Structure 1
Amino acid sequence: MTVLGGLLPDSTAVYVAVVAVTTAMIWAGSGWLERSAEDLSAYYGLPPVVQGSVVVAVGSSFPELASVVITALEDSFGMGVGAIVGSAIFNILVIPAVSGIVTKNPLDVDRTVVYKEAQFYMLAVSTLVITFALAIIYFPVDGGTTLDGSVTRLLATIPLSVYGLYLFIQWQDVGDYDGDDAGSDIDVRREWGWLAVGLVVILVAVELLVGAVNGLNATFDIPEFLAGVTIIAAATSLPDALVSVRAARGGRTVTSLGNVLGSNTFDLLVAIPIGVLIAGSATVSFTVAAPMMGVLTVATVLLFAFLRTDLSLTDPEAYALLVAYLVFVGWVVGETVGTFELLRG
């Protein structure tokens, strides 16, 4: 494992230093991304929920997209899917909890988030499970188990088409939104420039961060599966976390939660299919994918139930989400060391 192409020595101290520096870079990049997205949304008259679930969410999800493309090209797509699902679980359980706790007040939402964003996100989870099932049924892997299948480019169009429906619904909401003229004095070219700079900084920083984390994994002999669905997943979710926390502290709770759900929708319906389209096809093991997607579904239902109660997330509910994530990490550790055997692959 090398850092910066071998320009820096491979040592634990260097890995820790890279983690610290890249975390600061992500903090700065997410700030530029959030501010430019807010200004551009005001300029184009976008509703807050569209700002969070599309504009900011797609930008902050670029690290996950890059990780899936890389794993697909390196024929380790299953690990890429595990990292995406682990990232989605982190987003659903940890980010809303932290956002709610730092605001020191209940994290208020509106019915748009609860009834459109959350439910469409659950549709995204179901769509990906169906896509994997079709891969097992119609494109089994030669020499693999009966639950190994190949996700082809044709199958990848299924989740992509569902995301197209998602964008169409968001576009309809933009047409129905009556915004003010708060963005009339915004320098749109400058804001697009800051948006691009923020994306580049986040991408570079996350790639370096993931490399450093992988180096620490190798140093301390952390199993690949455990690192993928916990450490790597949390690392690639850092931009989402910073953007959502910033928005929540600024009183933009709809944008904060919209970013969480929109990022996960993008990751499941776009990031994974894009990796397949680039690689041509990718092997997925249903023995690992199905239980992980099941955990993601349970996490989504838990968040959905909390948000629907008085359309807010209280501190006790936020801490309950954190406890649920710790239970998930404990289960993954148990699977890794052989205590549990729910993942058969």
Structure 2
Amino acid sequence: MIPGGLLPNTSLANALVIAAATGFIWLGSGWLEESAEGLAARYGLPAVVQGSVIVAVGSSFPELASVIFAALAGVFDMGVGAVVGSAIFNVLVIPALSSLASDGDLESSRTVVYKEAQFYMIAVSALIITFAMAVIYVPVTDGPDLVGRITRPLATIPLLLYGLYLFIQWQDVGDHEAGPAPDGVPVRREWGRLVAGLLVILLAVEQLVGAVESLGHTFGVPEFLAGITVVAAATSLPDTLVSIRSARDDRGATSLGNVLGSNTFDLLVVIPVGVLLVGSVPIDFAIAVPMLGILTLATVLLFGTLRTDLSLTRIESYSLLIAYLLFVAWIVAETADLTHVLKGV
């Protein structure tokens, strides 16, 4: 999608849009990360809370906004495969790249391992339960087997769980013994820069995803394959840049907190908000559950590597990247009808 029709809808034009959008996302993510750091210091927030709430919600803003716009336009598509594909990219690729971009190992903490990672596993389980209840209690009788509708009451289940997540973070802020607030932090300017960064990221990601989709159609990439890999990676670009910046500044807890917090927000808030706006959306349990199973395995792999010495080494980083390449190879095999784990693809 070329902005405003100013450029022809060609492969070269789309490539230029992708390059320009990536640059703007880099700029906006810098504003977001720097303003979040300043505000967290001003209000005495722990590093994990800074990464898992402020930065995570900010970098996930494009996904939320795109779901809202699509829902209001009446063309909302659940896209569970793309959402879970983005989550798998976040869990396997972003921590690995952040570790490789840092000077040494990416340092973790017990808070990240025992609170953020485990709560994220609970979020995945809650989403599976919500999907299962849709199939059991609101089945689509005239469609394929194992297809149900997620209604507004069902969508409140993950939202209530995210409310619990925010409550836990609020309690951690109360228990945190912060040092004296730095003097001279321009609060209004930092909030303004935070909002400006969100707007830049939002507009840039919208153009980036549109250009990637256009290239996919041009080269005949199947829609499912493009959505779960290329588009998922494109929408995760803000999270990637923010996490890499934090890792380079030796703030591993913020970097990892952004990854897990973004995924928690996407699963527990982004999907339900779209459902609340539309009223109900169909969900194919036969596709959703295997994908969420892969996401669970990816999270367990990240959990295990982070727990060893509470750090992510270069060897462990390469193992995460290899795991993601195996996932992409499997998706290609599913698309080419070589394997048949996902029904209906």
What TM-score comes out, normalization by structure 1 length?
Answer: 0.97
**Cα distance, 1:278 vs. partner?**
1.0
Using the alignment, how far apart are the partners of 1:199 and 1:225 within structure 2? Answer: 28
Consecutive unaligned residues of structure 1, counting only runs of 5 or more, are: none
1:5-41 alpha-carbon deviations (Å, 9 max, x no partner): 4332110110000000000000000000000000011
Q: Which amino acid aligns with 1:44?
A: Y
SS in 2 for 1:149: strand
Using the alignment, how far apart are the partners of 1:264 and 1:122 within structure 2? Answer: 10
**Cα distance, 1:58 vs. partner?**
0.1
1:45-84 alpha-carbon deviations (Å, 9 max, x no partner): 10000000000000000122234335555555342x2111
1:148-196 alpha-carbon deviations (Å, 9 max, x no partner): 0100010000000000000000000000111112433211000000000
The equivalent of 1:37 in structure 2 is 36
Would the aligned equivalents of 2:45 and 2:173 in 1 still touch at CA under 8 Å? yes
Q: Which amino acid aligns with 1:77?
A: D
Using the alignment, how far apart are the partners of 2:69 and 2:283 within structure 1? Answer: 15
**Cα distance, 1:243 vs. partner?**
0.3
Would the aligned equivalents of 2:105 and 2:314 in 1 still touch at CA under 8 Å? yes
Would the aligned equivalents of 2:43 and 2:181 in 1 still touch at CA under 8 Å? no
Would the aligned equivalents of 2:67 and 2:76 in 1 still touch at CA under 8 Å? no
**Cα distance, 1:208 vs. partner?**
0.3
How has the CA–CA distance of structure 1 residues 305 and 92 changed in structure 2, closer, same or farther, with 3 Å as cutoff?
A: same
Would the aligned equivalents of 2:108 and 2:310 in 1 still touch at CA under 8 Å? yes
Using the alignment, how far apart are the partners of 1:70 and 1:132 within structure 2? Answer: 23
Matching of residue 317 in structure 1 with residue 293 in structure 2: no
Would the aligned equivalents of 1:128 and 1:269 in 2 still touch at CA under 8 Å? yes
Using the alignment, how far apart are the partners of 2:230 and 2:21 within structure 1? Answer: 15
How has the CA–CA distance of structure 1 residues 177 and 241 changed in structure 2, closer, same or farther, with 3 Å as cutoff?
A: same
Matching of residue 241 in structure 1 with residue 240 in structure 2: yes
1:95-147 alpha-carbon deviations (Å, 9 max, x no partner): 00001111141111110000000000000000000000000000111311221
RMSD: 1.2
How has the CA–CA distance of structure 1 residues 75 and 141 changed in structure 2, closer, same or farther, with 3 Å as cutoff?
A: farther
The equivalent of 2:303 in structure 1 is 304
1:218-246 alpha-carbon deviations (Å, 9 max, x no partner): 10011110011101100000000000000
Q: Which amino acid aligns with 1:245?
A: I
- Pairing of 1:66-215 with structure 2 (within 5 A): 66-70=65-69, 72=71, 74-75=74-75, 77-79=77-79, 81-215=80-214
Using the alignment, how far apart are the partners of 1:139 and 1:6 within structure 2? Answer: 43
- Pairing of 1:240-319 with structure 2 (within 5 A): 240-319=239-318
How has the CA–CA distance of structure 1 residues 224 and 267 changed in structure 2, closer, same or farther, with 3 Å as cutoff?
A: same
Percentage of identical aligned residues: 63
Using the alignment, how far apart are the partners of 1:142 and 1:5 within structure 2? Answer: 42
Runs of 4+ in 1 over 6 A off after TM superposition: none
Using the alignment, how far apart are the partners of 2:156 and 2:182 within structure 1? Answer: 36
SS in 2 for 1:77: coil
Would the aligned equivalents of 1:33 and 1:198 in 2 still touch at CA under 8 Å? yes
Using the alignment, how far apart are the partners of 2:17 and 2:179 within structure 1? Answer: 43
Using the alignment, how far apart are the partners of 1:74 and 1:292 within structure 2? Answer: 26
SS in 2 for 1:56: helix
Would the aligned equivalents of 2:76 and 2:274 in 1 still touch at CA under 8 Å? no
Aligned pair count reads: 343
Using the alignment, how far apart are the partners of 2:247 and 2:313 within structure 1? Answer: 13
SS in 1 for 2:268: helix
Would the aligned equivalents of 1:85 and 1:296 in 2 still touch at CA under 8 Å? yes
The equivalent of 2:225 in structure 1 is 226
**Cα distance, 1:209 vs. partner?**
0.3
Consecutive unaligned residues of structure 2, counting only runs of 5 or more, are: none
Using the alignment, how far apart are the partners of 1:74 and 1:218 within structure 2? Answer: 23
Using the alignment, how far apart are the partners of 1:187 and 1:67 within structure 2? Answer: 31
The equivalent of 1:334 in structure 2 is 333
